[in-house]
């Protein structure tokens, strides 16, 4: 069975995303550090912004659990992302960030995150409804960069470059990779640590959309452990896909060459486009996302269904974590 896959309309969504923060009032802020909180398809926006925000001059943490990092305080910019607005790990951090006096910005399409932010007068970007959380990435990503730009944190000039080159990216090479690796039990992605967020995104997209096991490792670190795994047996049947930057330095180029040789035959490459870090990161994300859609299509997988994620969320609801948080907010008499 071949399913017709509705894929993300990146161009339209990116254009809309750039307007989402237009009416939002955000005073300038010079944080001592930044924490992005969010899970899964929402949380990845923090990882990606961390990849591109190389000029903000303060440490950036991405927090994917119930606990807010210990260093978060009134000098922290806390960016809270949940597409549904009802993810309990994210909401738990939101309440803690409020108690610690962090400067909070929320990004959501609804749920408790929208309700609580409005009640507490916390700036909130309201995303369009009706998407899968992971499909809403253009909205999430450009809402985060839009808010940071408004507060005077970092420079996002690469946005224009990405928007211009997006329609020119040829997806045929990615289709060819999908065709070659479709039968593999596991996909491995290697790439430089400057693309740490992209590696996480492509792995998760393969998991959630194509329902395949995938793994991602960073260079140069994998040259200090993972490569040894190929010494005894080699795994020529397991494909390895390299995320590659056309402007890579000599050392990394040499590491990729060495690693490819070590891995043996079955390797592929997905290349960056553009010259800014934002364009490079988002062009890789675009192609990685497409790879996951194409694999879902070829393998006849319903990419929208995520029974196990929904199942664990339903199971956990029995513990009443969100209701308890709500009561805590009420008992603190925090409604404005």
Does 87 engage in binding with ligand PA5 (CB under 6 A)? yes
Contact 242, 256 (CB under 8 A): yes
Of 21, 45, 63, 90, the one binding ligand PA5 by CB under 6 A: 90
DSSP for 230-276, written as a single string:
GTTT--TTS-EEEEE-TT--HHHHHHHHHHHHHH-S-EEEEE--SSS
Backbone angles phi, psi at 192, to 5 degrees: -65, 150
Residue with the two structure tokens 């237009």: 22
Give the shortest CB-63-to-ligand PA5 separation in angstroms: 13
Q: How far is the CB of 76 from ligand PA5 (least distance, A)?
A: 20
Options 224, 231, 233, 307, the catalytic residue: 224
Q: Given the structure tokens 């399409």, which residue do they identify?
A: 109
Show contacts with ligand PA5 in window 276-305 (CB under 6 A). none
Residues that contact ligand PA5, how many (by CB under 6 A): 15
Nearer to ligand PA5 among residue 87 and residue 272 (C-beta): 87
313 noted as active-site residue: yes
Residues 6+ apart with CB under 8 A from 70: none
Please state at what angle helix 10-17 crosses helix 137-150, rounded to 10 degrees.
Answer: 30
Q: Give 87 or 259: the residue with its C-beta nearer to ligand PA5.
A: 87
Stretch near ligand PA5 under the rule CB under 6 A, chosen from 37-45, 49-57, 95-103, 256-264: 37-45
In Å, how far are 24, 137, 172, 319 from 287, measured between CA atoms?
31, 14, 10, 39
Q: Is 46 in the site for ligand PA5 (CB under 6 A)?
A: no
Q: Catalytic residue at 224?
A: yes
Verify binding: residue 306, ligand PA5, rule CB under 6 A. yes
Q: Interface with ligand PA5 by CB under 6 A: which residues?
A: 39-42, 82-84, 87, 90, 132-134, 208, 306, 309
């Amino acid at each position: 069975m071949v399913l017709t896959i509705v894929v993300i309309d990146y161009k339209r969504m990116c254009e809309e995303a750039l307007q989402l923060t237009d009416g939002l009032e955000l005073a300038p802020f010079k944080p001592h550090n930044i924490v992005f909180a969010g899970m899964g398809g929402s949380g990845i926006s923090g990882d990606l912004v961390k990849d591109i925000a190389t000029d903000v001059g303060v440490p950036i943490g991405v927090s994917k659990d119930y606990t807010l990092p210990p260093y978060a305080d009134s000098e922290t910019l806390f960016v809270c992302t949940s597409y549904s607005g009802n993810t309990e790990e994210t909401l738990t951090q939101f309440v803690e960030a409020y108690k610690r006096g962090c400067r909070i910005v929320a990004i959501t399409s609804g749920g408790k995150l929208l309700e609580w932010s409005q009640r507490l007068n916390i700036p909130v970007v309201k995303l369009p409804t009706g998407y899968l959380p992971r499909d809403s990435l253009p909205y999430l990503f450009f809402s985060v960069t839009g808010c940071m730009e408004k507060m005077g944190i970092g420079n996002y000039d690469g946005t224009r470059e990405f928007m211009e080159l997006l329609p020119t990216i040829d997806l045929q090479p990615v289709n060819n990779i999908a065709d070659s690796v479709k039968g593999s039990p596991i996909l491995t992605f290697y790439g430089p640590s400057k693309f740490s967020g992209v590696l996480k995104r492509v792995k998760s997209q393969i998991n959630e959309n194509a329902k395949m096991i995938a793994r991602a490792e960073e260079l140069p670190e994998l040259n200090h452990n993972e490569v040894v795994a190929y010494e005894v047996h080699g795994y020529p049947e397991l494909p390895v896909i390299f995320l590659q930057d056309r402007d890579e330095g000599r050392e990394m180029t040499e590491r990729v060459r060495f690693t490819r040789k070590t891995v043996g035959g079955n390797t592929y490459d997905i290349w960056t486009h553009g010259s800014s870090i934002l364009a490079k990161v988002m062009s890789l994300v675009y192609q990685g996302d497409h790879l996951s859609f194409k694999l879902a299509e070829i393998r006849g997988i319903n990419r929208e269904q995520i029974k196990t994620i929904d199942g664990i969320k339903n199971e956990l609801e029995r513990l009443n974590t969100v209701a308890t948080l709500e009561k805590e907010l009420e008992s603190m008499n925090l409604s404005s």
